[in-house]
Structure 1
Amino acid sequence: MRETLFRDHFWIRLAKRRPKLRTGCVFSEISSLQEESSDLTSTVGYDSIIQHLNDGRKNCKEFEDFLKERAVIEEKYGKELINLSKKKPCGQTELNTLKRSLDAFKQQIDNVGQGHIQLAQTLREEAKKMEDFREKQKLHRKKIELIMEAIHKNRNLQYKKTMEAKRLYEQRCRDKDEAEQAVHRNANLVTQKQQEKLFLKLAQTKSSLEDSDRNYQQSITSLEKIREEWQKEHIKACEFFETQECERISYFRNALWLHVNQLSQSCVQNDEKYEEIRKSLEMCSIEKDIEFFVNLRKTGSSAPAPVAYENYYNAQRNATPVRSPASVPISRRGPLPTPTSGPGDPDYATIDGYSLIHH
């Protein structure tokens, strides 16, 4: 149960009440009331609540704009991922199991992009809900604010009228006091006719005082009724505004909580898509891919024979002039012997009847 309530802490700043004087004088009681009501027309408490509510509404608008901006980012990121997975080559010549893994990879990246686009739409929907909530509170508040505005205006007008009646009443009191003093002061110094004029003026000031006193008291009575009405409406307004603020804080907190959950859910869903890629990679077999490539592209299992050395002159001498319809196979020859020469021999060597001269 909350102990701190708006209705208990957002009033005008009242001056301390002076003890009422029990002299029977209306003026004394009125003075005491005026001392207490010196800030009656102040709206400092009400204005403080309204300012706080306006700040809260602004904060909701800022979060709403944040969601919209995040939605733009998510949508752009999602579209970029989809374009990347569809248009950018990524191992397009791979074969067999690795190719299937790459296909799964690109498909899941496309799915991740679609997920971000869906998240962007969800964020826009949440921003719209925040906007609707904010506008709904604004409309409900407007009704109370109009009521309080009218009451404040009526209260201030009556207060002004009462203060004018008080000023006139005090002036009539001073006029009566001066008339009484004139009568007592000039009782033995003026003629009978002048004395009658002084008494006549005194009677007129008393009559004016009674009228102004009555008018002043009526104004005070009217002001008190208006003050009680204002106090009652102020309490109702405080209760309404407090309820709205509780709803706003609750809605704002829940909206933020939901937003974070949506981001977490997006991460979980993305990880599920990435898990599909990991599962596909687990099925990728190096041995199978090598075997598949060999069977698909093999060109032969025999390596080419070495290229042998053929001596041009040996081929010329061993050639026979007899023509034969059948071709004579050329036999492969072994390595040639290393040419040698003895000490004192000329600087040459012979190989099969041919001379190699050393220069």
Structure 2
Amino acid sequence: LIGEKNSGFDVLYHNMKHGQISTKELADFVRERATIEEAYSRSMTKLAKSASNYSQLGTFAPVWDVFKTSTEKLANCHLDLVRKLQELIKEVQKYGEEQVKSHKKTKEEVAGTLEAVQTIQSITQALQKSKENYNAKCVEQERLKKEGATQREIEKAAVKSKKATDTYKLYVEKYALAKADFEQKMTETAQKFQDIEEAHLIHIKEIIESLSNAIKEIHLQIGQVHEEFINNMANTTVESLIQKFAESKGTGKERPGLIEFEECDPASAVEGIKPRKRKTFGLPGIIKKEKDAESFFGDPWVAQRFSACLWPRARSWRPGIESHVGLPVHGACFSLCLCLCLSLSLSLSLSLCDYHS
């Protein structure tokens, strides 16, 4: 921890600060895991809904209900894990806030150690320079003596050498004092940093253990869902699928009755046939006049006079009578003449109807 450059304090302090980064990164990791689990849960829910839209025809239809139920339970399992991870994220964030406050307090407490570190570092540098200067002055003094320099030059070099010696000794003493203070404070601070780091690692380990237990619990639930799915599929036999199809789509259990040959009975067959009444064709105006004529001829007085007037003539217009052009009237021609006669009679009847009214 001390080393040649006395940089142990800097290492321990930055390691403590790195704990905050680790806490933040752990929260980000758990948050990302929760996002993945949430997306997976939504996908499973969507898959379960799609299973409801699959074809419900045929004997395989009940199997989709098993898939839907199992998929929905899996989606709920992952959603439960999301809730637990979100609670864990809040716990990590809370710990991170407490960690920042604790580190700020620790920084104030180890401020004296930082001064001791800076002091010994500066004294060490000064001591090194004074040592180099002392060695240089001693070498210079010995060189002048060997080269036979003047007494004045030798004395002058001796003064410089003595001054360098005193400075070097002074820094050695200062270094000894700074070293003692540094070691004492550094030992206390190192223990403090170790306690902080141990507490940090213990807390982080507890968080990770909570994460592991949450995932383990959900995986146990997922295993139960899969086991239930296996059992449901084992209970869904071919016979049960066919039975469900027969119950839902069955059209009845009665078989067609026996039909025997029956001989035809002409008498009953004729009686069973009802005469069909044909609908006459006619224009609306003519039909109305025909109805008026029927009501008119229903009067006994009109019917008597109409028969006395037209019937003798109709009898005389039998086949053998010649027309105005000299041709005999037979068959259809007679029917045409009769229709003309009836038309004239209808006009006469309407006139009589007006008279009678």
Instruction: Give the TM-score normalised by structure 1.
Output: 0.52
Cα distance in 2 for residues equivalent to 1:52 and 1:256 = 20
Cα distance in 1 for partners of 2:190, 2:77 equals 45
State which of 45, 48, 53 in structure 2 corresponds to 1:82. 45
Q: Tell me the residue number matched to 1:346.
A: none
Preserved contact between residue 51 and residue 64 of structure 2 (Cα < 8 Å): no
Match of 1:117 in 2: 79
> Displacement of 1:300 after TM fit?
7.0
Cα 1:102–1:55 change in 2 (3 A) is same
Letter in 1 for 2:127: T
The one-character-per-residue Cα deviations of 1:78-137 (angstroms, maximum 9, x if unpaired) are 11222233343268859xxx97x9779746643542331231232244245445546755
Please name the residue that 1:158 is paired with.
123
**Is it true that 1:325 corresponds to 2:271 in the alignment?**
yes
Match of 2:256 among 298, 303, 319: 303
For residues 271 and 213 of structure 2, the distance between their equivalents in structure 1, rounded to whole angstroms, comes to 93
Mapped contact 1:85–1:110 kept (Cα < 8 A):
yes
SS at structure 1 position matched to 2:35: helix
CA distance in 1 between counterparts of 2:36 and 2:177 reads 59
Contact 1:137 1:244 in 2 (8 A): no
Q: What is the CA distance between 1:214 and its match in structure 2? A: 2.9
Structure 2: segments with no counterpart, 5+ residues: 274-357
Give the match for residue 32 of structure 2: 69
Q: Distance in 2 between matches of 1:300 and 1:279?
A: 32
1:39-188, aligned counterparts within 5 Å? 39=4, 41=5, 43=7, 63-89=26-52, 106=68, 109-130=71-92, 133=95, 137=99, 140=103, 143=107, 150-174=115-139, 177=142
Structure 1: unaligned runs, 5 residues or longer: 1-9, 13-38, 187-196, 328-359
Amino acid in structure 2 at the alignment position of 1:155:
I
Structure number with higher helix proportion: 2
**Contact in 1 for aligned 2:51/2:67 (Cα 8 Å):** no
1:224 to 169, 176, 188: 176
Q: State percent identity of aligned pairs.
A: 15
Alignment partners' CA distance in 1, 2:74 and 2:269:
81
Spell out, residue by residue over 1:51-85, the C-alpha distance to the aligned partner (whole angstroms, 9 max, x if none): 87788777666654442332122101111222233
Does 2:188 match 1:236?
yes
Residue 305 and residue 149 in structure 1: after superposition, are their counterparts in 2 closer, same or farther (change >3 A)?
farther
Look up the SS of the partner of 1:325 in the other structure: helix
Q: Are residues 175 and 324 of structure 1, via their aligned partners in 2, closer, same or farther at CA, if it must alter by over 3 Å? A: closer
1:86 aligned partner, one-letter code:
K
Once structures 1 and 2 are overlaid, which stretch shifts more, 258-267 or 277-286?
Answer: 277-286
In the alignment of these two chains, the number of paired residues is 267
CA contact (8 A) 1:90 1:102 kept: no
Instruction: For 1:303, give the aligned amino acid.
Output: P
- C-alpha spacing 1:52/1:209, structure 2 compared with 1 (3 Å): same
Q: Which has the larger radius of gyration?
A: 2
Deviations 1:171-230 (A, max 9, x none): 444455567778xx68xxxxxxxxxx83x6555555444443333322222222222222
Q: Distance in 2 between matches of 1:209 and 1:292?
A: 114
Compared with structure 1, are the counterparts of its residues 324 and 257 closer, same or farther at alpha carbon in structure 2 (3 Å cutoff)? same
CA distance in structure 2 between the aligned counterparts of 1:224 and 1:163, rounded to whole angstroms: 14
C-alpha distance in 1, partners of 2:158/2:70? Answer: 99
